[in-house]
């Protein structure tokens, strides 16, 4: 801070700044502004004087060789400030030498230096901060040699051979703090004093500890910042807690005592990590950080302070309610599950009071009514609830519990809720509108996102359950038995978790039950809902059953095979039992010739005419017209009958 104030003071006393666009040797008590890039510089460029400033305004000073020259040189000068410069390709980017004092190098970029990015040689009380020094792959980013009381802070040292090097026994009381290191090929930090006692301090340096070299006899101190964060079990900061930091392995560093504020945090405190002559001699690590407070039990933690950190300590109240064995009976609940929640509570003193269950299963957080503990020292809280029945997502539940002093504690549990409803139920057989004999086998499959289902079928309005399906999309076959008739069938399945919204059902099919014997198509009461699909079956050939008694006319054909007879709804066939020569059944007479048929017909006609004449004469003579008509009709009927019967009588 003193350097920054000095920098502002110097600016205030300089009447005006001098603009420059070439390399310049400064005059004392003058401020200079660089107004353009400078390239092709063969040697030293800016040679400063006491009580001067160089404001580069981000312009570049570029050398011609990494083997010669310096971008900026201070030789035995005091109160010099160099700000916001870009310096490339010199042997030394900035060279502070010959007992220069109070030189400030700030906010500059120094790249590709052949030997040193910044060299502080036999100079003291300098301040190097906020600079980026990289690309010096065969050189050192910052080196202090034979220098005292210099501060190296907040610099970025990358892609060099070494990041920071403090060299020689007379380099003492130098401080490096909050510098960052990365991708340095040999060391991030090197301290080499060539014997004797040096004593330099490095605070919060973000080094890679595999790239740190502390030579024996350096007596270096490496420290980091620590603070404590104390909370109760509900993660609320504890005000006024006492925090103690001690070296757990012994040593001369005294115990530190810190106190927390209202937020439960202490102030940052510098704590020594290492004090000794070599990296292997880590005297003060790890540290023990402990804290306690009014009505809170002591808690502690061991930490290795090889970086700055906040140590969190949770303090348990002497009267605080503690949950344990927090669980649910279903580890991965799903939509609509009935879940039992449990938590076991203890308290140091016998003063448990009551508990409350809270969840967002309905979509919003809601609390149950308070329930008194059955025991005052240790007791269970148990609550059963149904998870959300419609919506997937992440849900939470918790128990609150308190003691008679009104001290509360809470559990917090969450899970991801999934839908395990049945995606589909497919009834593969029987096919819709089919004819089936009983018992009827049917096959279905279930598809869903849960691996166990309970299924049943609805057969003509009656529910019947059967074995659970064990895997997705697995075919299952069962049978139903009934009489002939018309039936409907549908299969239902749900998940076995009991979720009310997980049901699925198959396609609805209808079928007709038929008789299993031949010729049967019955049971349907003559309904035309199904077309006939069966045909009559003829009786066996060469049946020994007697033929039916038949009368003519029967169509015969000469040479018909000697087979049985059968009857259908449209015709009657007589298929012979040993036909004789006139092609008639045995025992039945037949006409021998066409002449016999003609004579029979003449006789019949003559008889008919004689009867008609007798009837007319009787009618005319007696004048009985009605009776006459009846007699004629009767005679006519008898004649026709005689015509057909006479041949049968042989």
Average pLDDT over residues 462-474: 58
Q: What percent of the chain has pLDDT over 90?
A: 32
Average pLDDT over residues 384-394: 81
Letter string b/e over residues 116-137, b meaning 16 or more CB atoms within 10 A of that residue's CB: bbbbbbbbbbbbbbebbbbbbe
User: Which range, 179-188, 418-427, 440-449, 639-648, has the best average confidence (pLDDT)?
Assistant: 179-188
Q: Which of 218, 241, 274 is the last residue of a domain?
A: 218
CATH number at residue 457: 2.60.40.10
Helix 594-622 to helix 625-645 angle (10° resolution) is: 170
**pLDDT at res. 285:** 58
DSSP string, 75-115: ES-EEEEEES-EEES-SEEEEEESS-EEEEEES-EEE--SS
282 exposure class (CB count in 10 Å sphere: 0-12, 13-18, 19+): middle
- The mean per-residue pLDDT over the stretch 556-566 comes to 36
Residue 543 lies in a domain: no
Q: According to the model, what pLDDT value does residue 143 have? A: 96
Residues 583, 612, single domain; the answer is no
Predicted local confidence at residue 605, as pLDDT: 65
Q: Is the pLDDT of residue 154 over 90?
A: yes
The DSSP symbol for 239 reads T
Residue 159 class from Cβ within 10 Å (0-12 exposed, 13-18 middle, 19+ buried)? middle
Q: What is d(CA 408, CA 117) in angstroms, rounded to the nearest whole number?
A: 60
The tokens for 35 are 């107004």
Cα–Cα separations (whole angstroms), residue 158 to 25, 131, 132, 295, 444: 31, 11, 8, 50, 70
Mean pLDDT, residues 262-266 taken together: 93
**Look-up: residue for tokens 């959300």?**
388
Give residue 557's pLDDT band: very low, low, confident or very high (50, 70, 90): very low
Of 73-82, 249-258, 288-297, 396-405, least confident by mean pLDDT is 249-258
Q: Is 519 helix (H, G, I), strand (E, B) or coil?
A: coil
**Residue 232, domain CATH:** 2.60.130.10
| Rounded CA separation 413/397 (Å) | 5
Which of 220-224, 344-348, 523-527 shows the lowest mean pLDDT across its residues? Answer: 523-527
> Based on the domain organization, do 290 and 246 belong to the same domain?
yes
In the prediction, which pLDDT does 584 show? Answer: 42
C-alpha gyration radius of the chain: 59
Is the bond preceding residue 424 a cis peptide, omega within 30 degrees?
no
pLDDT band at 45 (very low <50, low <70, confident <90, very high): very high
- CA 21 to CA 493: how far, in whole Å? 89
Secondary structure element (H or E) that encloses residue 630, with its range = helix 625-645
Residues 178 and 252 in one domain: no
Q: Is the pLDDT reported for residue 552 higher than 70?
A: no
Higher-pLDDT residue of 66 and 556 is 66
Could you tell me if 147 and 214 lie in one domain? yes
pLDDT at residue 453, as a whole number: 62
Query: What distance in Å separates the CA atoms of residue 436 and residue 434, rounded to the nearest whole number?
Result: 6
pLDDT band at 69 (very low <50, low <70, confident <90, very high): very high
Is 70 a residue whose pLDDT tops 70?
A: yes
Question: 166 and 30 share a domain?
Answer: yes
Q: Element (H or E) spanning 272, and its range? A: strand 269-276
558-591 burial, b at 16+ Cβ within 10 Å, e below that, comes to eeeeeebbeeeeeeeebbbeebeeeebbeeeeee
Is 432 a member of any domain? yes
**pLDDT in the model for residue 516:** 64
| Phi and psi based region of residue 188 (left: phi greater than 0; alpha: psi -120 to 50; beta: remaining) | alpha
Tokens representing residue 561 in the block:
């095979």
CA dist 453 and 421 (Å) reads 10
Q: Give the mean pLDDT of 419-444.
A: 78
| Residue 357 vs residue 169, higher pLDDT | 357
Least confident of 94-98, 217-221, 288-292, 562-566: 562-566
**Residue 18: per-residue pLDDT:** 96
Average pLDDT, the chain: 76
534 inside domain: no
Report which of 409, 340, 412, 344 is spatially closest to residue 375, judged by C-alpha positions: 344
Same-domain pairing of 174 and 276: no
pLDDT at 536 over 60: no
Domain membership of residue 68 (yes or no) is yes
Phi, psi of 230 (to 5 degrees): -105, 130
Distances (CA, A) of 629 to 582, 618, 620, 632, 635: 42, 11, 11, 5, 10
Distance, CA of 640 to CA of 630 (rounded, Å): 16
Contact 133, 85 (CB under 8 A): no
Per-residue model confidence (pLDDT) at position 279: 55
The residue-averaged pLDDT of 451-480 equals 65
Which helix (H) or strand (E) is 133 found in, with range? Answer: strand 132-134
Q: What is the mean pLDDT of residues 466-483?
A: 62
Residues 360 and 272 in one domain: no
Report yes or no on 526 lying in a domain: no
From 218, 237, 262, the end of a domain falls on 218
pLDDT at 83: 98
> In terms of domains, do 40 and 180 share one?
yes
> Is the confidence at residue 160, as pLDDT, over 90?
yes
302 versus 159: the higher-pLDDT residue is 159
Residue 221, C-beta contacts closer than 8 angstroms, at least 6 positions apart: 199, 200, 201, 202, 272, 274, 275
Q: What is the pLDDT of residue 278?
A: 55
> Of 193, 218, 243, which closes a domain?
218
Least confident of 96-105, 202-211, 481-490, 623-632: 623-632
Residue 612 has pLDDT above 70, yes or no: no
Say whether 299 sits in a helix, a strand or coil.
Answer: strand
pLDDT of residue 603: 57
Q: What pLDDT is stored for residue 264 in this prediction? A: 92
| pLDDT score of 624 more than 60 | no
Domain hosting 236: range is 223-314
Amino acid 645: pLDDT: 53
Closest CA to 358 of 394, 401, 398: 398
pLDDT at 221: 83
238 and 212 together in one domain: no
Complete DSSP assignment for 593-604: -HHHHHHHHHHH
Q: Distance between CA atoms of 381 and 368, rounded to whole angstroms?
A: 12
Considering the domain architecture, whether residues 465 and 605 belong to the same structural domain is answered as: no
> Is residue 523 one of the residues assigned to a domain?
no
Least-confidence region, from 72-81, 144-153, 201-210, 550-559:
550-559
Helical spans, DSSP H, in 155-313:
none
Confidence of residue 531 (pLDDT cuts 50, 70, 90): very low
For residue 515, give both structure tokens.
């008789």
Q: What phi, psi does 221 have (nearest 5°)?
A: -120, 125
Judged against a pLDDT cut of 80, whether residue 182 lies above it is answered with yes
pLDDT band at 484 (very low <50, low <70, confident <90, very high): confident
Q: Output the CA–CA distances (angstroms, integers) from residue 259 to 87, 294, 302, 305, 310, in the order listed.
A: 47, 13, 18, 19, 14
Within a domain: 532:
no
Q: What is the Cα 225 distance to its own chain's centre?
A: 40
Tokens of 541: 């050939």
CA 643 to chain centre: 102
Three-state secondary-structure class, residue 557:
coil
pLDDT at 98: 94
Rounded to 10 degrees, the C-alpha dihedral 563/568/571/574 comes to 20
Look at residue 180 in the predicted model and tell me its pLDDT: 96
Please check whether residues 61 and 124 belong to one and the same domain: yes
The number of domains in the chain is: 6
pLDDT value at residue 41:
95
Proportion of the chain above pLDDT 70, given as a percent: 67
Note whether 263 and 146 are same-domain residues: no
Whether residue 562 is contained in a domain is answered as: yes
Closest CA to 39 of 13, 54, 19, 59: 59
Confidence bin at 307 (pLDDT 50/70/90): confident
> Binning pLDDT at 50, 70 and 90, where does residue 502 land?
low
């Amino acid at each position: 801070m003193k350097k920054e104030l000095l920098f502002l003071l110097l600016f205030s006393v300089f009447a005006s700044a001098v603009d420059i666009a070439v390399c310049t040797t400064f005059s004392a008590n003058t401020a200079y502004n660089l107004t353009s890039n400078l390239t092709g510089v063969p040697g030293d460029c800016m040679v400063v004087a006491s009580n001067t400033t160089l404001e580069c305004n981000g312009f570049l000073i570029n050398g011609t060789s990494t083997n010669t020259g310096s971008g900026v040189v201070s030789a035995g000068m005091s109160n010099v400030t160099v700000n916001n410069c870009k310096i490339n390709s010199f042997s030394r980017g900035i060279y502070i030498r010959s007992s220069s004092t109070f030189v400030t190098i700030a906010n500059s970029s120094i790249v590709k230096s052949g030997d040193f990015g910044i060299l502080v040689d036999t100079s003291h009380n300098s301040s190097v901060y906020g600079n980026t020094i990289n690309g010096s792959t065969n050189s050192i980013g910052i080196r202090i040699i034979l220098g005292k009381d210099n501060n190296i802070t907040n610099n970025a040292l990358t892609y060099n051979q070494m990041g920071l090097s403090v060299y020689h026994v007379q380099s003492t009381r130098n401080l490096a703090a909050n510098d960052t290191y990365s991708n340095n090929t040999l060391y991030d930090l090197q301290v080499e004093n060539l014997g004797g006692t040096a004593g330099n301090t490095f605070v919060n340096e973000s080094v890679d500890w595999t790239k740190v070299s502390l030579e024996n006899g350096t007596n270096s101190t490496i420290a980091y910042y620590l603070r404590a964060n104390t909370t109760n079990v509900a993660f609320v900061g504890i005000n006024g807690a006492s925090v103690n930091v001690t070296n757990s392995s012994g040593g001369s560093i005294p115990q530190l005592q810190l106190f927390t504020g209202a937020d439960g945090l202490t102030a940052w405190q510098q704590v020594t990590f290492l004090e000794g002559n070599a990296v292997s001699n880590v005297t003060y690590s790890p540290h023990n950080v402990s804290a306690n407070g009014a009505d809170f039990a002591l808690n502690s933690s061991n930490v290795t302070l090889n970086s700055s950190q906040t140590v969190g300590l949770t303090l348990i109240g002497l009267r605080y309610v503690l949950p344990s064995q927090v669980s649910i009976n279903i580890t991965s609940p799903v939509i609509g599950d009935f879940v039992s929640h449990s938590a076991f509570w203890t308290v140091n003193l016998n003063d448990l009071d009551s508990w409350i269950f809270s969840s967002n299963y309905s979509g919003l957080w809601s609390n149950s009514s308070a329930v008194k503990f059955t025991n005052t020292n240790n007791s269970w809280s148990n609550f059963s609830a149904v998870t959300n029945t419609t919506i997937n997502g992440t849900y939470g539940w918790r128990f609150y519990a308190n003691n008679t002093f009104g001290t509360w504690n809470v559990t917090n549990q969450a899970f991801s809720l999934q839908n395990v409803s049945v995606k589909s139920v497919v009834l593969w057989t029987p096919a819709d509108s089919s004819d089936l004999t009983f018992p009827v086998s049917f096959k279905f499959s279930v598809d869903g996102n849960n691996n166990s289902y309970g299924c049943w079928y609805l057969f003509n309005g009656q529910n019947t359950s059967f074995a659970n399906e064990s895997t997705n999309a697995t075919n299952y076959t069962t049978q139903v038995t009934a009489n002939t008739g018309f039936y409907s069938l549908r299969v239902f399945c749900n998940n076995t978790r009991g979720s009310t919204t997980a049901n699925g059902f198959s396609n609805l099919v209808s079928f007709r039950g038929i008789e299993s014997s031949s010729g049967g198509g019955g049971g349907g009461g003559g309904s035309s809902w199904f077309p006939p699909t069966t045909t009559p079956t003829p009786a066996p050939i060469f049946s020994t059953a007697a033929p039916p008694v038949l009368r003519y006319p029967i169509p015969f054909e000469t040479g018909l095979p000697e087979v049985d007879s059968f009857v259908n709804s449209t015709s009657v066939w007589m298929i012979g039992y040993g036909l004789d020569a006139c092609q008639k059944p045995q025992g039945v007479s037949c006409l021998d010739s066409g002449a016999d048929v003609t004579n029979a017909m003449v006789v019949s006609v003559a008889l008919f005419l004689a009867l008609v004449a007798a009837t007319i004469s009787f009618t005319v003579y007696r004048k009985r017209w009605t009776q006459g008509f009846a007699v004629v009709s009767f005679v006519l009927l008898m004649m026709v009958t005689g015509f057909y019967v006479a041949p049968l009588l042989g």
